[in-house]
A = this chain, B = another copy of it.
Amino acid sequence: MTSADYAEGISSTPRAKRGPSKKGEAARRELLAAAEKCLRKYGYGGISTRQVAMVADAPMSQIHYHFGSKQGLLLALFEDLNSRLLHRQTLMFASDLPLWRQWELACDYLDEDLASGYVRILNELAAAGWSDREIGDAVRKAVSGWKHLLTNVARRAEERFGGFGPLDPEDVAALVSSVFLGAEMNILSGHENPDVPVRRALRRFGALIRQFEENAAKGE
Protein backbone atom coordinates (compact mmCIF):
# COMPACT_ATOMS: atom_id res chain seq x y z
CA MET A 1 0.00 0.00 0.00
CA THR A 2 1.27 3.41 -0.83
CA SER A 3 -0.95 5.83 1.08
CA ALA A 4 -2.97 5.75 4.26
CA ASP A 5 -6.05 7.51 2.98
CA TYR A 6 -7.09 5.50 -0.05
CA ALA A 7 -10.13 3.28 -0.53
CA GLU A 8 -12.53 3.75 2.35
CA GLY A 9 -14.95 1.36 0.63
CA ILE A 10 -17.28 -1.01 2.40
CA SER A 11 -15.05 -3.38 4.33
CA SER A 12 -16.66 -6.76 3.67
CA THR A 13 -13.49 -8.23 5.10
CA PRO A 14 -13.28 -7.22 8.77
CA ARG A 15 -9.72 -5.97 8.40
CA ALA A 16 -8.46 -4.01 11.33
CA LYS A 17 -8.11 -0.58 9.70
CA ARG A 18 -6.06 1.82 11.68
CA GLY A 19 -5.83 5.58 11.45
CA PRO A 20 -2.67 7.68 11.16
CA SER A 21 -0.39 7.68 14.18
CA LYS A 22 0.83 10.74 16.04
CA LYS A 23 4.16 10.65 14.30
CA GLY A 24 2.40 10.40 10.97
CA GLU A 25 0.33 13.49 11.61
CA ALA A 26 3.39 15.41 12.72
CA ALA A 27 5.27 14.47 9.56
CA ARG A 28 2.28 15.50 7.49
CA ARG A 29 2.23 18.93 9.04
CA GLU A 30 5.98 19.25 8.63
CA LEU A 31 5.68 18.53 4.93
CA LEU A 32 2.82 20.97 4.51
CA ALA A 33 4.82 23.70 6.21
CA ALA A 34 7.81 22.99 3.99
CA ALA A 35 5.61 23.03 0.90
CA GLU A 36 4.18 26.38 1.92
CA LYS A 37 7.67 27.78 2.35
CA CYS A 38 8.77 26.48 -1.06
CA LEU A 39 5.64 27.74 -2.77
CA ARG A 40 6.40 31.22 -1.47
CA LYS A 41 9.98 31.02 -2.65
CA TYR A 42 9.64 29.38 -6.06
CA GLY A 43 5.99 29.78 -7.02
CA TYR A 44 3.65 27.07 -8.18
CA GLY A 45 5.46 26.50 -11.45
CA GLY A 46 8.88 26.27 -9.86
CA ILE A 47 8.12 24.09 -6.88
CA SER A 48 9.56 20.56 -6.85
CA THR A 49 9.11 17.63 -4.52
CA ARG A 50 12.85 17.49 -4.05
CA GLN A 51 12.98 21.03 -2.71
CA VAL A 52 10.06 20.40 -0.40
CA ALA A 53 11.66 17.23 0.94
CA MET A 54 14.96 19.06 1.38
CA VAL A 55 13.34 21.85 3.38
CA ALA A 56 11.39 19.36 5.49
CA ASP A 57 14.62 17.39 5.98
CA ALA A 58 12.94 14.19 4.85
CA PRO A 59 13.30 11.84 1.86
CA MET A 60 11.08 12.40 -1.12
CA SER A 61 9.25 9.16 -0.60
CA GLN A 62 7.57 10.68 2.43
CA ILE A 63 5.63 13.02 0.19
CA HIS A 64 4.23 10.21 -1.92
CA TYR A 65 3.46 8.15 1.12
CA HIS A 66 1.50 10.86 2.88
CA PHE A 67 -0.05 12.65 -0.08
CA GLY A 68 0.10 10.18 -2.95
CA SER A 69 1.64 12.63 -5.40
CA LYS A 70 2.95 16.13 -5.85
CA GLN A 71 -0.54 17.29 -6.77
CA GLY A 72 -1.99 15.67 -3.67
CA LEU A 73 0.44 17.67 -1.57
CA LEU A 74 -0.43 20.97 -3.21
CA LEU A 75 -4.14 20.24 -2.97
CA ALA A 76 -3.88 19.50 0.73
CA LEU A 77 -1.88 22.69 1.22
CA PHE A 78 -4.46 24.78 -0.58
CA GLU A 79 -7.38 23.44 1.42
CA ASP A 80 -5.47 23.98 4.63
CA LEU A 81 -4.65 27.62 3.83
CA ASN A 82 -8.08 28.47 2.56
CA SER A 83 -9.94 27.05 5.52
CA ARG A 84 -7.71 29.04 7.85
CA LEU A 85 -8.43 32.32 6.05
CA LEU A 86 -12.11 31.71 5.56
CA HIS A 87 -12.52 30.89 9.23
CA ARG A 88 -10.82 34.07 10.35
CA GLN A 89 -12.86 36.20 7.99
CA THR A 90 -16.10 34.54 9.08
CA LEU A 91 -15.36 35.36 12.69
CA MET A 92 -14.64 38.97 11.79
CA PHE A 93 -17.88 39.49 9.90
CA ALA A 94 -19.86 37.79 12.66
CA SER A 95 -18.96 40.65 15.00
CA ASP A 96 -21.56 43.39 15.35
CA LEU A 97 -19.22 46.19 14.38
CA PRO A 98 -20.62 48.76 11.95
CA LEU A 99 -20.11 47.87 8.32
CA TRP A 100 -17.50 50.51 7.64
CA ARG A 101 -15.41 49.16 10.51
CA GLN A 102 -15.64 45.67 9.08
CA TRP A 103 -14.55 47.03 5.73
CA GLU A 104 -11.55 48.63 7.40
CA LEU A 105 -10.68 45.36 9.09
CA ALA A 106 -10.94 43.58 5.76
CA CYS A 107 -8.38 46.08 4.45
CA ASP A 108 -6.13 45.31 7.40
CA TYR A 109 -6.41 41.58 6.68
CA LEU A 110 -5.58 42.18 3.05
CA ASP A 111 -2.32 43.82 4.02
CA GLU A 112 -1.61 40.98 6.43
CA ASP A 113 -2.26 38.27 3.88
CA LEU A 114 -0.17 40.02 1.27
CA ALA A 115 2.75 40.33 3.66
CA SER A 116 2.54 36.70 4.65
CA GLY A 117 2.37 35.47 1.08
CA TYR A 118 -1.02 33.81 1.41
CA VAL A 119 -2.66 35.75 -1.37
CA ARG A 120 0.02 34.90 -3.82
CA ILE A 121 -0.30 31.21 -3.10
CA LEU A 122 -4.06 31.29 -3.53
CA ASN A 123 -3.77 33.14 -6.81
CA GLU A 124 -1.13 30.83 -8.16
CA LEU A 125 -3.24 27.80 -7.37
CA ALA A 126 -6.20 29.46 -9.05
CA ALA A 127 -4.11 29.90 -12.17
CA ALA A 128 -2.94 26.30 -11.98
CA GLY A 129 -6.57 25.26 -11.59
CA TRP A 130 -7.34 26.46 -15.09
CA SER A 131 -5.22 23.67 -16.51
CA ASP A 132 -5.78 21.03 -13.85
CA ARG A 133 -9.29 19.72 -13.29
CA GLU A 134 -8.79 18.56 -9.70
CA ILE A 135 -7.15 21.78 -8.57
CA GLY A 136 -9.82 23.73 -10.41
CA ASP A 137 -12.55 21.94 -8.49
CA ALA A 138 -10.83 22.72 -5.22
CA VAL A 139 -10.54 26.39 -6.16
CA ARG A 140 -14.17 26.57 -7.22
CA LYS A 141 -15.23 25.11 -3.91
CA ALA A 142 -13.14 27.67 -2.08
CA VAL A 143 -14.49 30.57 -4.11
CA SER A 144 -17.98 29.38 -3.38
CA GLY A 145 -17.25 29.52 0.35
CA TRP A 146 -16.13 33.14 0.11
CA LYS A 147 -19.15 34.00 -1.98
CA HIS A 148 -21.58 32.64 0.60
CA LEU A 149 -19.87 34.55 3.37
CA LEU A 150 -19.98 37.85 1.50
CA THR A 151 -23.55 37.35 0.35
CA ASN A 152 -24.68 36.93 3.91
CA VAL A 153 -22.90 40.13 4.89
CA ALA A 154 -24.56 41.99 2.02
CA ARG A 155 -27.96 40.60 3.00
CA ARG A 156 -27.58 41.83 6.56
CA ALA A 157 -26.50 45.23 5.29
CA GLU A 158 -29.56 45.40 3.06
CA GLU A 159 -31.83 44.72 6.03
CA ARG A 160 -30.11 47.35 8.11
CA PHE A 161 -30.25 50.26 5.70
CA GLY A 162 -32.28 49.54 2.61
CA GLY A 163 -31.29 48.15 -0.77
CA PHE A 164 -28.49 49.06 -3.17
CA GLY A 165 -30.56 50.34 -6.08
CA PRO A 166 -30.49 47.89 -8.97
CA LEU A 167 -27.98 45.67 -7.14
CA ASP A 168 -29.22 42.79 -5.03
CA PRO A 169 -27.06 41.19 -2.31
CA GLU A 170 -25.59 38.60 -4.68
CA ASP A 171 -24.44 41.39 -6.97
CA VAL A 172 -22.86 43.33 -4.14
CA ALA A 173 -21.08 40.22 -2.94
CA ALA A 174 -19.77 39.53 -6.43
CA LEU A 175 -18.50 43.10 -6.81
CA VAL A 176 -16.86 43.21 -3.40
CA SER A 177 -15.24 39.84 -3.89
CA SER A 178 -13.98 40.95 -7.28
CA VAL A 179 -12.61 44.26 -6.12
CA PHE A 180 -10.60 42.64 -3.34
CA LEU A 181 -9.35 39.85 -5.55
CA GLY A 182 -8.33 42.34 -8.21
CA ALA A 183 -6.77 44.64 -5.65
CA GLU A 184 -4.62 41.83 -4.41
CA MET A 185 -3.44 41.03 -7.89
CA ASN A 186 -2.76 44.67 -8.62
CA ILE A 187 -0.68 45.08 -5.51
CA LEU A 188 1.19 41.85 -6.06
CA SER A 189 2.01 42.63 -9.67
CA GLY A 190 3.23 46.11 -8.94
CA HIS A 191 4.51 46.07 -5.42
CA GLU A 192 7.35 48.37 -6.41
CA ASN A 193 5.06 50.51 -8.52
CA PRO A 194 3.49 52.99 -6.12
CA ASP A 195 1.46 54.82 -8.73
CA VAL A 196 -1.46 52.41 -8.52
CA PRO A 197 -2.90 53.50 -5.18
CA VAL A 198 -5.08 50.47 -4.60
CA ARG A 199 -4.81 50.42 -0.84
CA ARG A 200 -5.64 54.09 -0.53
CA ALA A 201 -8.61 53.68 -2.85
CA LEU A 202 -10.00 50.81 -0.79
CA ARG A 203 -9.62 52.76 2.44
CA ARG A 204 -11.33 55.79 0.96
CA PHE A 205 -14.15 53.62 -0.26
CA GLY A 206 -14.53 52.53 3.36
CA ALA A 207 -14.97 56.19 4.25
CA LEU A 208 -17.71 56.36 1.65
CA ILE A 209 -19.48 53.44 3.30
CA ARG A 210 -19.21 55.21 6.63
CA GLN A 211 -20.90 58.34 5.29
CA PHE A 212 -23.70 56.29 3.82
CA GLU A 213 -24.09 54.15 6.92
CA GLU A 214 -24.19 57.03 9.38
CA ASN A 215 -26.65 58.98 7.25
CA ALA A 216 -28.94 55.94 7.16
CA ALA A 217 -28.68 55.68 10.96
CA LYS A 218 -29.79 59.31 11.35
CA GLY A 219 -32.71 58.78 9.02
CA GLU A 220 -34.28 56.19 11.32
Contact = CB atoms under 8 A, between A and B. Distances in A.
For this complex, into which size category does the number of interface residues on chain A fall?
35 or more
Contact of A172 (B124, B140, B201): B201
Interface in A105-128: 120, 123-124, 126-128
Chain A contact residues: over half helix, strand or loop, or mixed? helix
Contact of A175 (B140, B165, B171, B205): B205
A26 interface: no
Nearest to A120: B130
How many copies of this chain? 2
Contacts of A205: 167, 171, 175
Interface stretch (A5-13, A27-35, A81-89, A192-200): A192-200
A174 B188 contact: no
A193 B138 CA distance: 12
